[in-house]
Amino acid sequence: MKFYVTTPIYYVNAEPTVGSAYSTIAADVLARYHRLRGEDVLFATGTDENAQKNVRAAEERGLDPMAFVGEMAEQFRREWLGLNIEFDDFVRTTEERHHRAVQAFFEALYKSGDLYLGKYEGWYCVSDETFFREEELIDGNCPNPECGKKVEWIAEPVYFFRFSKYGDRLLEYIERNPGFLLPEFRRNEVVNFIRGGLRDSCVTRHSSWGVPMPSSIPDSDGMVVYVWTDALVNYLTCAGYPDDRERFERYWPADVHIMAKDIFTRFHATLWPAMLMAAGLPLPKRVVAHGWWTVGGEKISKSGGGVVPRPGPVLDMVMAETGCTRERALDALRYYMLREVPFGQDGEFSGEGLLGRYADDLANDLGNLLHRVLPMIARYRKGRIPKTSVPDPDLHRAARDAASGWERAAKTLDFRSGLEAIWSFLAAGNRFIDRKAPWALAKSGDEEALDRVLYSAVEAIRIAALLVAPVMPSTADEIESQLGFRDWQRSWAQAHEWGLVPAGQQIGRPTPLFPRQDQGGNAAAKVAASPDTSRSKEMPVISIKEFQKIDLRVGEVIGAEAVSGADKLLKLTVSIGDEQRTMVAGIATAYEPGDLVGKKVVVVANLEPATIRGVRSEGMILAGWVEGDEKSIAMVTPDRDLPNGARVT
């Protein structure tokens, strides 16, 4: 079994951003998952260095182009390693092996009869490395809204690829292979693009920078391969083409190409498959386009200007706000980017959203499960895993469902639904602790029942660590260390097994996975000091005067909608007499937006406003719930019809 996954190769004219990290993190998650399955994985990434824009960037800095691209390529390599990305091959298109691959590929195209000499006259955008028709220009400028720069008129003899020949073959292939292009709506865009008519593509330029055309192709002196065609061949280069036939036969075709949507339709989903058809090579099994990350509605771009989130400063912010380690901040970023939005959709990147996921999902759900259980093992079983052979059937079933959910999601790169399946399992684990109340079993003296509960909880934690390992590898390592594992070898099959934590194993020191700043340096001590109190804390007593400071009012919901990128939040418009307020409420697990309009609720009207997931919330809806059961949420409502704005005392 083999699995070959690629990212696009990145232009080195500017530093990497969290936007370019998105493709690379997604590919790393897939690679780690398939390694856990015991497959022979090739994960390739790299840098695109033969672009004219790189030459211009070097000139602006007063550097030799080769020195410039070498410096920038090393920066990308360091950035990916710093994000705990375990690539197997980092290709640079200035490498000799890549030049050999491009030239061999073009010789195959020429022999196919689909490469011919012609003359190109038209407009060319150096920044986009793209030719445009006159009618595509906007006021004489590049039509790409992220570019908009002046285009240049080029008239020169060039080689063309007979792209127009392959429209019907591409449509037939897409029809026969419904999983070839993802997501589905992007596939439909590609089909419409092809049906609109394909034009033969200019695939060479006259330049001294780039991959020279093979000398065997006539009348190609002074020509280099057009950078977009050259860049696509990197996927063959990393697979061993043309030098290592055995390696190439093993890894090609690629199982998944991952890229952003802007380079999907025109290049990866149409031109690249057509060229492979012409060269007589198999097509990749799957080509997947993800959306863009935006800030203020604008795409995050290396050269777009404005605020450009870079991975390092983002991690520093998480560490400063939470007090966590860099490893936890990194895993929080990886989790946030794959959980916040469906993989094919655009998403608004915000530090507030990242910190929200950190607090709600990582600290409250994942971290809380671990640090409810381990202190009880330390207290009731002297830090050793208890002996038992009877699993909790509901918890075992939830674990299997979570593993199956992730497996289904991995096939279509639906990372969000895969993580949702895992988090449903974590919720089941926390409900299990609430329901079984091991602290009560300890007080009652039912030692056998206590052993069963503690062991089942530990097994749930072990499986949870395995399930999150592809997304949050260092967090999984830390969980297993706290469970007492040393030199533990994970495999995906273990996600479907029960009873793998050795009885009698000594646990490690319970330490908060995802601390919060308000815990300070005493977080671990607080967890260990009260292991048998569930998640409740002794509430402080307040005076009647303090209570009277709270302005409770009757309100009526007149509008409700989901909050983008948030699973648990609804945006409500509430009338409280003479005014309307927007309020964000964490009730989406129990209520549909349409069910809320017209309902009377009780709100805290004088709560300090807060911005939650980009929405300004001006008040709070009162609700009750059973701890650990998010579907049990019930809003507080008056039992008689009171006017909007009426005081509640």
Q: What is the rounded average pLDDT of the residues 25-36? A: 98
Rounded distance between C-alpha atoms, residue 385 and residue 535, angstroms = 22
Q: What are phi and psi of 136, to 5 degrees?
A: -85, -20
More confident residue, 225 or 128: 225
Query: Looking at residue 121, what is its pLDDT?
Result: 82
Q: Which H/E stretch holds residue 6?
A: strand 2-6
pTM of the model: 0.78
Per-residue model confidence as pLDDT tens digits over 384-396: 999 876 778 889 9
Query: Looking at residue 302, what is its pLDDT?
Result: 56
Rounded distance between C-alpha atoms, residue 97 and residue 115, angstroms = 23
Per-residue model confidence as pLDDT tens digits over 360-411: 999 999 999 998 999 999 999 999 999 876 778 889 999 999 999 999 999 9
3-state secondary structure 599-629: CEEEEECCCCCEEECCEEECCEECEEEECCE
More confident residue, 627 or 77: 77
The yes-or-no verdict on residue 210 having pLDDT over 90 is yes
The yes-or-no verdict on residue 527 having pLDDT over 50 is no
Half-sphere exposure of 245 (CA within 13 A, CB side): 0
Check if the beta carbon of residue 10 is closer than 8 Å to that of residue 49.
Answer: no
Domains recognised in the chain with CATH numbers = 2-299 (3.40.50.620), 313-529 (1.10.730.10), 544-648 (2.40.50.140)
* pLDDT category of residue 543 using cuts at 50, 70 and 90: low
Check if the beta carbon of residue 39 is closer than 8 Å to that of residue 1.
Answer: yes
Per-residue model confidence as pLDDT tens digits over 47-106: 999 988 888 888 888 999 999 999 999 999 999 999 999 999 999 999 999 999 999 999
The yes-or-no verdict on residue 552 having pLDDT over 60 is yes
Check if the beta carbon of residue 89 is closer than 8 Å to that of residue 240.
Answer: no
With tokens 């049906």, the residue in question is 195
Burial grade of 522 (CB within 10 A; 0-12, 13-18, 19 or more): exposed
More confident residue, 606 or 162: 162
Q: What is the rounded average pLDDT of the residues 180-192? A: 95
Rounded distance between C-alpha atoms, residue 136 and residue 297, angstroms = 24
Rounded distance between C-alpha atoms, residue 29 and residue 35, angstroms = 10
Q: What is the rounded average pLDDT of the residues 467-490? A: 95
Q: What is the mean pLDDT of the chain?
A: 89
Closest Cα partner for 587 from 557, 610, 547, 616?
A: 557
Q: What are phi and psi of 206, to 5 degrees?
A: -95, 115
Rounded distance between C-alpha atoms, residue 272 and residue 514, angstroms = 44
* pLDDT category of residue 517 using cuts at 50, 70 and 90: low
- Give the pairing type, strands 298-299 and 293-295: antiparallel
Q: What is the rounded average pLDDT of the residues 482-504? A: 93
Per-residue model confidence as pLDDT tens digits over 217-229: 999 999 999 998 9
